[in-house]
Structure 1
Amino acid sequence: MSYRSWCLALGLCLINGPLLAIERAWPITEGMDVVGELSHAEAAYEDTLIDVARRHQVGFEAIRRANPEVNTWIPGEGTRILLPHKFILPDARRQDIVVNLPEMRLYYFPRDESRVMSYPVSIGRMDWGTPVGTLDVIEKRENPSWTPPDSVRKAYAERGEELPRVVPPGPDNPMGDYAIRLSRPSYLIHGTNWSTGIGMRSTHGCIRMDNDDIGELYSRVSLGTSVNIVNQPIKVGWRKGLLYLEAHPPLEELEDDAKGMDEAVAKVMDAVGERDARVDWSRVRSALNEVSGVPQVVGWEADQPLTTSTSATSSARAEPPAADP
């Protein structure tokens, strides 16, 4: 078996080429809800989709959802891959850190600056969920050691694996080079010794970042920084007269809180407000069905020039569709 085949069999990925410097800080102005731009990359001969995601600083699930027709393990040389670098900002106070769990993405709003920075993250598995709510940064530590909670050591023991009581800094430490402890002390934002796993539900509740990303964030945040963790599988927002909707699969343990079309209608109507706007409800349904995580144009202001992005066969005033039977 070749080295590549061995890695794929183990679910590992090979990173071909250096990481690229990706733009991830965007100015935000009054009334702007959407930042970034979509772009494309071509897969190289030995690439997996995870290679492309890692190289372009996109989370694993995010790149899979944006490219549902692409084979994860063998995209094929020259395959055109959509890079989902366009985001609707979460419906939350634009200050300090906001983490949207279904999106598996962290947003950082530097104080006294009209801009936002964004990074893919990993979050807790279903049985070790990352908590929703507003916490604060209470400690920052470089080269942290890891003291596994008793619950984690017990889970490992049940699988026949033994965890030491303390894992020292180094390549075997899953916390990476930086750790930011939150006001629920067992939860942290930290680095990793497995960067290819970014953008998955793979932690014991912590928020895990690529080592380069956590290094950048670590240098900017201070004690007392707020961390608002939200659950928003559906986001809606405006940019340049266009109304966008972005849909992500709801977290399994929070599916009862997901309202689907009802939630989308409420958010669209709230975003439209008193504007003279048009909404294409078929596009809303399509975005909800696709759950691609890519912002889709679903409406526009009445004076917006019609283009390929806004013209539609079934547009209407911003009035919700009749309820499903």
Structure 2
Amino acid sequence: MKMKVIYLSLVILMAIGTLNATEYQLPQGKSRLIGHEQYHTVIKGDYFQQIAEQYNVGFLALMAANPNVDPFLPPVNSQVTIPKAMLIPPIRRVGIVINLPELRLYYFSPDKKTVRVFPVGIGREGLETPVATSYISEKRENPVWRPTKEMHERYFAEHGKKLADVVPAGPDNPFGKYALRLGTSEYLIHGSNKRFGIGMRASSGCIRMYDEDIKWLYDNIPLNTKVRIIDQPVKVSYENGHKKLIEIHQPLTEEDGNKSTVKISDVVQRFVGTERAHWHQLLPFIEQPKGLVVELEPIASEVKRPQ
């Protein structure tokens, strides 16, 4: 049986508002599925960075969902899958949750009715964004950038020239127009003066967002909002009591620089079960994660879980 990607007919909840909306109604009960897959018909001049910005998804997420498409010259009239369906991470739905392998930030509204989802850039190999629990301690508009000693040393080693001690607000400031500090640390959630790099591992450890996205957070979230940064490349969910959904992302690169492989936890093994057909269906997604929500085809012998 062929693995079935979650299409519109399988989705319970739809995004609110326009095509590019990032706000979703929170599912009821234990359900975790939000959003729906979308499809973009390529026209002349399209390329993945432009498509990613149009649909407010990450660049790497778009590449993972379309592994056989040239990201710089996608064929005209071809269909590009837009990964807008997702499973909410199995974590308390409060404040901000950043799942590093997904390169996504979730913001759960205080009324517990909606969640907003944004693509983010995170720390590159060797400068990883840490898994942490923190809070928003400070909000800055037009932030000034003061590179750390380590940044100065790294910049000189890479470019052979000195980095400025202070970079004022403006087009040369890598923090963009807004920044949110995490606790008492040096880590920020901030904008960027470069559109490329959102949805990628490209920062020095901070969380990067599109300027319009960080402005929304700056305008709408209060100080002391809880922030949790997690590392969960595999998410699973039972929908309607028996439908098995799974979403697999490429794990973060290991410390030695080698590409990580998907590790199947005991929880995921129990979820998938012992049916060889299910594991056969999952194998291509384990070997090459696409970050798409997929449904395990029902097995006739399986007993439905109670509602």
TM-score range, shorter chain: 0.7 to 0.9
Q: Which residue matches 2:267?
A: 266
Q: Residue 95 in 1 paired to residue 94 in 2?
A: yes
Between 205-214 and 153-162, the greater mean CA deviation after superposition: 153-162
Q: Which residue matches 1:112?
A: 111
Change beyond 3 A, Cα 1:316–1:286: farther
Is the partner of 2:51 in helix, strand or coil? helix
Deviation, 1:279, is 8.4
Deviation readout 1:160-181 (Å, 9 max, x if unpaired): 1321111100111110111000
Is the partner of 2:220 in helix, strand or coil? coil
Q: Distance in 2 between matches of 1:261 and 1:231?
A: 12
Query: Which structure exhibits the higher relative contact order, with contacts defined as CA atoms closer than 8 Å and separated by 6 or more residues?
Result: 2
Q: Which residue matches 1:244?
A: 245
TM-score, scaled to structure 2:
0.84
Which runs of 5 or more structure 2 residues have no equivalent in the other structure?
1-17
Is the partner of 2:62 in helix, strand or coil? helix
Could you say what the CA RMSD is over the residues aligned between the two structures, in angstroms? 2.4
Aligned sequence identity (%): 35
Is the partner of 1:135 in helix, strand or coil? strand
Deviation, 1:254, is 6.3
Q: Which residue matches 2:20?
A: 22
Deviation, 1:278, is 12
Tell whether the 8 Å contact from 1:242 to 1:297 is kept in structure 2 after alignment: yes
Change beyond 3 A, Cα 1:115–1:286: same
Amino acid paired to 2:171: P
Q: Distance in 2 between matches of 1:194 and 1:125?
A: 16
TM-score, scaled to structure 1:
0.80
Between 203-212 and 113-122, the greater mean CA deviation after superposition: 113-122
Deviation readout 1:11-46 (Å, 9 max, x if unpaired): xxxxxxxxx851211111212211000010112211
Is the partner of 1:253 in helix, strand or coil? coil
Q: Which residue matches 2:285?
A: 287
Is the partner of 1:195 in helix, strand or coil? coil
Is the partner of 1:55 in helix, strand or coil? helix
Change beyond 3 A, Cα 1:242–1:150: same
After superposition, residues 1-325 of structure 1 pair within 5 angstroms as 22-28=20-26, 29-159=28-158, 160-240=160-240, 241-253=242-254, 260=262, 262-263=264-265, 266-267=267-268, 269=270, 280-298=278-296, 310=297, 317=302
Q: Distance in 1 between matches of 2:277 and 2:255?
A: 28
Q: Distance in 2 between matches of 1:27 and 1:122?
A: 25
Q: Distance in 1 between matches of 2:165 and 2:156?
A: 12
Tell whether the 8 Å contact from 1:34 to 1:238 is kept in structure 2 after alignment: no
Deviation, 1:134, is 0.5
Amino acid paired to 1:297: E
Deviation, 1:262, is 3.4
Is the partner of 1:81 in helix, strand or coil? strand
Is the partner of 1:181 in helix, strand or coil? strand
Q: Distance in 2 between matches of 1:72 and 1:262?
A: 30
Deviation, 1:120, is 0.4
Is the partner of 2:199 in helix, strand or coil? coil
Q: Distance in 1 between matches of 2:226 and 2:93?
A: 11
Change beyond 3 A, Cα 1:261–1:164: closer
Tell whether the 8 Å contact from 1:54 to 1:196 is kept in structure 2 after alignment: no
Between 96-105 and 158-167, the greater mean CA deviation after superposition: 158-167
Deviation, 1:271, is 8.8
Q: Distance in 1 between matches of 2:263 and 2:155?
A: 40
